[in-house]
Amino acid sequence: MIMYSPFRNVLAGSRLTIYDLISDKGYYNGELPSSQVYFLKYGAEYIEFPTKYRVYTYQGKILDLLFAIDLSCNQLTGTIPPGLWNLSEIRGLNLSHNNLTGAIPSTFSKLKQIESLDLSYNNLTGRIPSELTEMTALAVFSVAHNNLSGPLPNRKNQFGTFEENSYKGNPLLCGPPLNKSCSEGTPSASSSEEEHGPVDMGYFYISFAVSYGIIFLATVAVLYINPYWRRAWFKFIEDCSTACYFFIVDRLGRLPCFRRNM
């Protein structure tokens, strides 16, 4: 694991704990400990970085050069800790080639200084948050080979510079710069669905049947209680039946085969 972070110009009183993610297997597996993402205490003069059998101590101006986190090529699972947005001075974040799931946190938009964000080769789902277009310093961006879906963010600011390779391997993504248009059937919620949510067809059919059942029972109850309406209803049914009978007989009587049988 290579883990770097800017330690100057951070919030006073906050601190960052760095963990050794190196195991005997050569990689780390498990979830990212979101509750353990802290800042280094402001003004600290050194930091200890443990590896397998040794602990390296960095101090002095070298801390000014630590500005990125690289957790790629491990077997990390779970969702991306939303607390990573607190690393406001970070320049690079690489979480590629892991088994991360869930959505991309929209809070990444608060990483105003980040220049490189690589989330490729994971199992991330959902949409790419439109808020990420606020990352105006971003120069390298990749979410390739995930399970993302929906339209891509508007091509403004830095997102106007990213090409198809940044999104490849996500067959359900659509919109520029991809060749797939969002009108070609890619799952994309309409404005009404975004506001009210998708319709559950099971509940729709049940409510439909219940509504008509209530109307039928109400009609029967009214006809049972009111004799006048009951007589009028049956007369209406009788008139309709008679009209239908004579209409059918008249039409059939015009057919040659029907006249011969008569």
Tens of pLDDT, residue by residue over 227-242, are: 888 888 888 888 888 8
161 and 84 in a single domain? The answer is: yes
User: Domain limits at 79?
Assistant: 1-25+43-182
47 and 162 in a single domain? The answer is: yes
At 24, the pLDDT band (50, 70, 90 cuts) reads: very low
C-beta of residue 131 within 8 angstroms of C-beta of residue 155: no
Mean pLDDT for all residues in the chain = 73
95 and 173 in a single domain? The answer is: yes
Output the domain CATH number for residue 166. Answer: 3.80.10.10
Domain stop point among 182, 210, 225: 182
Residue 157, domain member (yes or no):
yes
Percent over 90 (pLDDT), the chain: 20
Q: Is 233 left (phi over 0), alpha (psi -120 to 50) or beta?
A: alpha
Tokens in use for 65?
């050069």
- pLDDT (0 to 100) of residue 120: 94
Q: How many Å apart are CA 256 and CA 239, to the nearest integer?
A: 28
Span 160-183, mean pLDDT?
90
Percent over 70 (pLDDT), the chain: 65
Tokens in use for 85?
């947005």
C-beta of residue 148 within 8 angstroms of C-beta of residue 121: no
Q: How many Å apart are CA 253 and CA 243, to the nearest integer?
A: 15
Tens of pLDDT, residue by residue over 99-149, are: 999 999 988 888 888 888 999 999 999 999 999 999 888 888 999 999 999
Q: Residue 150 CA to chain centroid, in angstroms? A: 8
Determine which helix (DSSP H) or strand (DSSP E) holds 210, and give its type and residue range.
Answer: helix 201-225
Q: In the chain, how many domains are there?
A: 2
218 and 178 in a single domain? The answer is: no
Residue 174, domain member (yes or no):
yes
131 and 54 in a single domain? The answer is: yes
Q: Residue 157 CA to chain centroid, in angstroms? A: 22
